[in-house]
Amino acid sequence: MIAARKDPARGRTCTRAPLTWFTLLVLAMPLAGVLIARAQGAPAPTTSTELRGSVTQEPGYYPPNDPESSSVRIGRRVNAPLVTKPFAGGARSLDELGRKVCHALDYERADTLFSLAVREDEFRDILWPEFPQSRPATGISWQDGWLFLYGRNHQGSAQAIRDYGGHVYQFVRFDRYDSTTHYKNFNLHKGLILVAKDDAGNIREFRWMRSAVERQGRFKIYSMND
């Protein structure tokens, strides 16, 4: 049987299923197993405080073969292949990218802003193979990396429009508080600050656009704050 309750904030009835005998039985099964094991003289399960601190201390552990471990220190994989695939869309300069971002904010278009970021196939084929995280020893797939980046940029686009959209911004320049990393197939410009003048004549500094990526004269957003 399902119990109903009135939600005063939303003015509608919500339903909530009570605990059934089957749910209680499932919840009780682990405890029953422990009690039976103790009654038969079996040792109690190891508590979390008794577990070893690291898998590297377990008997029989061998570190994975990682011939590219130095890529973590360098910041890129030196054996990454050259690719010929170009960026689609984006802008022809970093300044043009800044103007397009201001235009998207003006018209409150989160989809336009998101379209200025790297696409899934560009991340997979051009960017990911050069990142240290992509080396086989990590066990991380490009899908893992893309899922994180997509979520950040998709949410970041919507958040930027909510916070700053609906104003006319005149792009002034990009300032940087970090650096540019040069990869074999692209350059990553990190720590960007977009400086613009708003419709009231005030100078604004936007830090939500974290980085931009450059390839063969095309510039796209790499990462935003979410």
Spell out the domains of the chain, with CATH numbers in brackets.
92-224 (3.10.450)
Distance CA 191, CA 156 (A): 15
Task: Output the DSSP codes for 208-220.
Answer: -EEEEEEETTEEE
For the segment 114-151, what is each residue's pLDDT rounded down to a tens digit? 999 999 999 999 999 999 999 999 999 999 999 999 99
Please compute the mean of the pLDDT values over residues 27-53 and round it to a whole number: 46
Question: What angle, 0 to 180 degrees and rounded to 10, lies between the N-to-C axes of helices 94-106 and 142-164?
Answer: 60
Q: Residue 69 is encoded by which pair of tokens?
A: 């471990």
Lowest mean pLDDT among 15-29, 31-45, 95-109, 110-124: 15-29
Q: Quick one: pLDDT band at residue 26, thresholds 50, 70, 90?
A: very low
